[in-house]
Structure 1
């Protein structure tokens, strides 16, 4: 088969899932409320089994993926206040890896936009701050948002499995639209 025809076939197959999403939308949309003041130290206890978060994780485990998600601040905290608290945490001695803070962060309520191919519940463990590997990037909410009493809403958009390899494109475009405070989306 000629190289040009191979490229055409690959592009046609890649376009089908995007066309389906443009026609019918996402598979499902779920929203979750997170009160960071309820975060206890779950580094030595499984947060998925805790009384405050068990229902959340049971719901998250039902989402197969791939997934695009974004965290939105619902409490009355300014981006400045949030960024200052994150910087303080990031400069602390035992901080875990966090998403990049934009130099000129936008005045927005959108904290972060992300994606995952499957197991969104595992990504939540990381974002809440309880993944054991310090280099794994996440919001690390327990370490800075708990004492701030930050309230968040997480919107999870689940896609059909054939979209798995196209999530990078959607994440980048969603971040351009929502302009989150954290994360590189180039």
Structure 2
């Protein structure tokens, strides 16, 4: 995704189902370890300046999955992305915080996929998120 396409995401204010895709599953165990170590190292430091609320993860994961995370948002896709990238100024909003632990040289580039829905679909987006997560088996997230 180039910068122009990325900046266009600021205008997306409808319900969106999205997922981050890895280029391969070769380093999934290492990736999970790195994320868990990052998450655990800051978990109890809410008052510290480097604290970030992180996404949850399941104890078991699918080693062959090429999906890092599946999520949804009813409106304000840009804000969700900013949080996942690790740049949200609020300590309370949970996300992957990629800037703080994800190493592109080690794990490869991520691809952002998303599907935009009409506003009246906002109540259905949670069901679709669970269904997609069940199918893709993401490495990070509650599903």
Residue in structure 2 matching 1:96, options 48, 52, 60: 52
Unaligned runs of 5+ in 1: 1-31, 33-52
Question: Do the aligned partners of 2:24 and 2:66 also contact (CA within 8 Å) in 1?
Answer: no
TM-score by length of 1: 0.65
For the residue of structure 2 that corresponds to 1:154, the secondary structure is strand
Larger Rg: 1
Residue in structure 2 matching 1:80, options 1, 26, 29: 29
Alignment of 1:175-186 (within 5 A): 175-185=133-143
4+ aligned runs moved over 3 Å, structure 1: 146-150
Higher RCO (CA-CA < 8 Å; seq separation 6+): 2
TM-superposed deviation, 1:161: 1.3
Q: Which residue of 2 aligns with 1:41?
A: none
Between Structure 1 and Structure 2, which shows a larger proportion of helix residues?
Answer: 1
TM-score by length of 2: 0.83
State how many pairs are aligned.
Answer: 134
Aligned Cα root-mean-square deviation (Å): 1.9
Q: Which residue of 1 aligns with 2:126?
A: 168
Counterparts of 2:135 and 2:8, CA distance in 1: 27
Unaligned runs of 5+ in 2: 43-49
